[in-house]
Structure 1
Amino acid sequence: MIVHVHLVRHGQTFFNRYNRLQGWSNSPLTQAGLDDAIHAGNALKDITFAAAYCSDTTRAQVTAQTILDINAANGHDVPVIHADMHFREQFYGYFEGQDMGAAWLAAGGPHGAPTYHAIVEQFGLGATRDFLKEADPFHDAESDEEYWRRVDGAFALIAANADLRDGDDVLMISHGNTLLSLMQRFAPAGYDLSERPANGSVTMIDFDTVKSLDDAIEVISYNRR
């Protein structure tokens, strides 16, 4: 059974604006972020959503509600939003809220990769998580394995929704690094993943709810704004 999942990156937050790491932190949307959510809502206003999911952070919930309010204003019945921690961005632990440049220097510097892009180029995206956990004095930041175990759980929640039918459209509010991680894991060649997904952008995937996750996702489009 295939459902069409519309992945929207939440609107801009103050931490986005200040270039600070924001995983489980709960920075509110800026006015530009509210406009991002409205833009996404207008882009999706003609779609009838059978279900809606987001993380339990304010930025994700406000973005989801804004999109569904626009949907309702255009005559669609809208679902109740399922907010759950499985849909959160990766957890940066000790480095939550810190300047991105300083945090990635602390994580990658000991490995000869002083920036986020240097870590990705030399060691892969998964290493950004493992190196950050290693540098975290409390080791609270999520490792790559811990991160994917939680994100896989998010898709398991969608697959377990007995009300979904083949061909249904599903709204899912996501986060920047999670979108990049999903693209790296599932996208075929041809996508420019050096381009971060914009706030309010829409990425679309087809999700086969009865297959194992590694075989269940097909990327349809990325970072439409």
Structure 2
Amino acid sequence: MDVITFNLYVVRHGQTYFNVYNRLQGWSDAPLTDKGISGAEKTAEKLANMHFTAAYCSDTTRAMKTAKIILDKNTADSVKEPTVSSYLRGEFYGYYEGSDLEQSWYAAGAPHGLPTFKDIVSKYSLGKAMDFLKEADPFHQAESNEEYWKRWDQGLDLIRKDKNIHDGDDVLLISHANAVLGLVERFGEGKYDVTEPPANGSLTKLEVSDDQVKVVDYNIQ
């Protein structure tokens, strides 16, 4: 069987109320703000002439709404509806879902002498930040790095096995800040700064084949 390679255009969803309030938002489902909707519309305009053979998003309101805005404005005879999957959610923050972002990462990193998210990722990795947050969670229900990637690998396999996708095709994925960071950290060969989240509505381009993923562009606004 021939190996196919396709382009995966990963868009972070539009701004939500939890983004405004600076709260952790993994499986929480805050809606888009007016700015988030207009930002998604601007991203949609940039992608309006691109033909997407397939589209994917998580089952969160913010991701599905962003996907609908982009696909509704598309003029290149793209797929009309995204495939929705819980595999493609961002990290589950457990006890810290909806909590103040800085305070949550302080709780995770301070026991290790690292009081901020940036400190943790700079010294270790995004994966280690996930592990520290799980340790700090009194219920230990936040996802560890291993648990997160076990789920996300199923999401990537779901896309790879889409029989509608052929060599050279363009595919849309609406995703989340830490999900984008995770993809870039894992497959970006250390070329990109993953201590700061990508902007809402930003675009990250990956080349995906059966056996590898390559980061081509990151956080394009």
**TM-score, length-normalised on structure 2?**
0.95
The separation in 2 between residues aligned to 1:3 and 1:79, in whole angstroms, is: 19
Aligned to 1:219: 215
How many angstroms does 1:123 deviate by?
2.5
The separation in 2 between residues aligned to 1:64 and 1:46, in whole angstroms, is: 15
1:7 matched to 2:10: yes
Q: What is the DSSP-based 3-state SS (H/G/I as helix, E as strand, rest coil) of the residue aligned with 1:49? A: coil
How many angstroms does 1:140 deviate by?
0.6
Aligned to 2:67: 64
How many angstroms does 1:60 deviate by?
0.1
Aligned to 1:180: 181
Query: What stretches of structure 1 of length at least 5 have no aligned partner?
Result: none
Please say which of residues 183-192 and 10-19 is displaced more in the overlay: 183-192
Aligned to 2:201: 200
Aligned to 2:30: 27
The separation in 1 between residues aligned to 2:78 and 2:118, in whole angstroms, is: 43
Aligned to 2:192: 191
The separation in 1 between residues aligned to 2:39 and 2:138, in whole angstroms, is: 36
Please say which of residues 119-128 and 14-23 is displaced more in the overlay: 119-128
Q: Say if 2:118 and 2:196, in contact at 8 Å, map to a contact too.
A: no
1:125 matched to 2:121: no
How many angstroms does 1:219 deviate by?
1.0
Deviations 1:107-165 (A, max 9, x none): 11111111111111223221111111111111110000000111111110011111211
Give the residue type in structure 2 aligned to 1:106. A
How many angstroms does 1:75 deviate by?
4.8
> In 2 relative to 1, CA 117–56 (structure 1 residues): closer, same or farther, beyond 3 Å?
same
Aligned to 2:92: 91
How many angstroms does 1:185 deviate by?
1.0
How many angstroms does 1:192 deviate by?
3.4
> In 2 relative to 1, CA 123–190 (structure 1 residues): closer, same or farther, beyond 3 Å?
closer
Deviations 1:172-208 (A, max 9, x none): 0011111111111111344333442110011101100
The separation in 2 between residues aligned to 1:163 and 1:191, in whole angstroms, is: 31
Q: What is the DSSP-based 3-state SS (H/G/I as helix, E as strand, rest coil) of the residue aligned with 2:72? A: helix
Give the residue type in structure 2 aligned to 1:41. A
Q: Say if 1:52 and 1:170, in contact at 8 Å, map to a contact too.
A: yes
Q: What is the DSSP-based 3-state SS (H/G/I as helix, E as strand, rest coil) of the residue aligned with 2:73? A: helix
Q: Say if 2:126 and 2:182, in contact at 8 Å, map to a contact too.
A: yes
Q: Say if 1:49 and 1:79, in contact at 8 Å, map to a contact too.
A: no
Query: What stretches of structure 2 of length at least 5 have no aligned partner?
Result: none
Deviations 1:69-90 (A, max 9, x none): 000xx25242431111010000
